[in-house]
Amino acid sequence: MASRQELSDFLASVQRRAFKQTVYAVRDEDAALDLVQDAMFKLSEKYPDKPPQELPMLFQRILQNATYDYFRRQKVRNTWVTLLSALRPDDEEGHDSDPLETLEADDERESGESVADKYEREQTLKIIEEEISKLPGRQREAFLMRYWEEMDVAETAAAMGCSEGSVKTHCSRANHSLATALKARGITL
Amino acid sequence: MNDFESTQRIQRIQRALNQGAEKLPYKVTHRLEQSRLAALARFDAKPNVSVKTLGASLALSGELPLWRQALNFAFPIAAVAIALYAINVSRDKADIDDTAAIDSAMLIDDLPIAAYTDYGYGVFLKNSRQ
C-alpha cells in the first residue's frame, strides 16, 4: 500500500510529463490540466491501497481513460453544436461574436510570444512535439509510455489494455514515423 | 535504420521532451501543484470513508466486487424470508396444539354433569349424532 509520501512523490515526478502527454493528445492546455487533475483525484481516491510500483501503470490507464472520455464528450458536444447551428437562421450569424473575446485571444497570443516562451519553445522541441502530436493515438501512447515514462513492455501493455506484441508494434511504427517525419523537416537526431 | 541509431534518436527525443516538460509556464506548474495537493487531501480523507467497511455502505460505494455487492443485498432479504417462514411454522404449531388440547378434552369426556342438563348442549349432541 502506497503511503501519502510515496503518492506525493509519484505525482510530483509524473505531473509535468502527464500534462505534456495529455496536451499532445487533446491539443488544449486547459483541458489537459483538468484531465491530469481528474486522473490524480481518481488515483488517490480509488486506489490508495495499491503498492507504489503499480502507481505508474494505474495512473497512465486512468489518464488514458479520462482522455478518451474527453474525446467522447467533445464528439457529443460537436454534434449538438452542429445541429443547433444548422437550426439557427443565417441572418443571426456573427451577432453572437463578442469583440472582447477576439481582443482577449489576441492578448493571449501576444503574451504567448514573450521572450520567456520563445526561449522555452525551441524550434527543435517544437517540431518534435508537433510530430509526436501527429502520431496515431495508440502509437503515441505506447511510444511515450515506453520511452518517456520508461515503463517496460509488460507495464505498458497492462496500462494500454493490449498485448505486449501490440505494444512492440506500436512503438516500432511510432519510431519509424518519427524518424521519417523529423528527417523530412530537417531534424537529424 | 539500425538499433544504435534508433536508440540514439529515442534518447535525444527523450531529452528534448524532458527539457520541454521542465520549462512549463508558471501558471501550468502552479495548477499542477494545486492539483497534486488537492489529490493528497483526498487521499488523507480516504481512511475516514474506508472505516465504513460494514454492510451496505461499502456495497453502495462500489468498492466491492459485484458478487459481494449482490450478496450484501441478497443476505438481508434471505434473512427476512427465513424469519417469516419460522414465524409461520411456529403459529401453525401453536394452532395445532390448541386444537389437540380441545380434542383430547372432548375425548377424555371430562365434561361436568351440569353440561348435559344444558338444552343447547343436548341439541348439539343430537345434531352431532345425525
Cβ <8 Å between A44 and B16: no
pLDDT at position B11 is: 87
Cβ <8 Å between B43 and A20: no
Nearest residue in A to B45, CA atom? A45
Write down the mean pLDDT value for chain B. Answer: 80
DSSP string across A41-63: HHHHHH-TTS-GGGHHHHHHHHH
List of chain A residues whose C-beta atoms are within 8 Å of the C-beta of residue B53: none
Angle formed by the axes of helices A164-184 and A153-160, to 10°? Answer: 100
List of chain A residues whose C-beta atoms are within 8 Å of the C-beta of residue B12: 189
- For the segment B8-26, the average pLDDT, to the nearest whole number, is 87
pLDDT at position A84 is: 78
Cβ <8 Å between B31 and A33: yes
> Which amino acid, residue B58?
L
Percentage of residues in chain A with pLDDT exceeding 70?
A: 81
What are A186's three cell numbers?
530537417
- Residue A90: pLDDT band (50, 70, 90) is low
Q: What's this model's pTM, rounded to 2 decimal places?
A: 0.60
- For the segment A119-148, the average pLDDT, to the nearest whole number, is 85
| A150 Rama sector, left if φ>0, alpha if ψ -120 to 50, beta otherwise | left
pLDDT at position A118 is: 57
pLDDT in tens, B43-83: 888 655 444 444 555 555 556 778 888 888 889 999 999 99
- For the segment B101-112, the average pLDDT, to the nearest whole number, is 74
Query: Computed over its alpha carbons, how large is the radius of gyration of chain A?
Result: 20
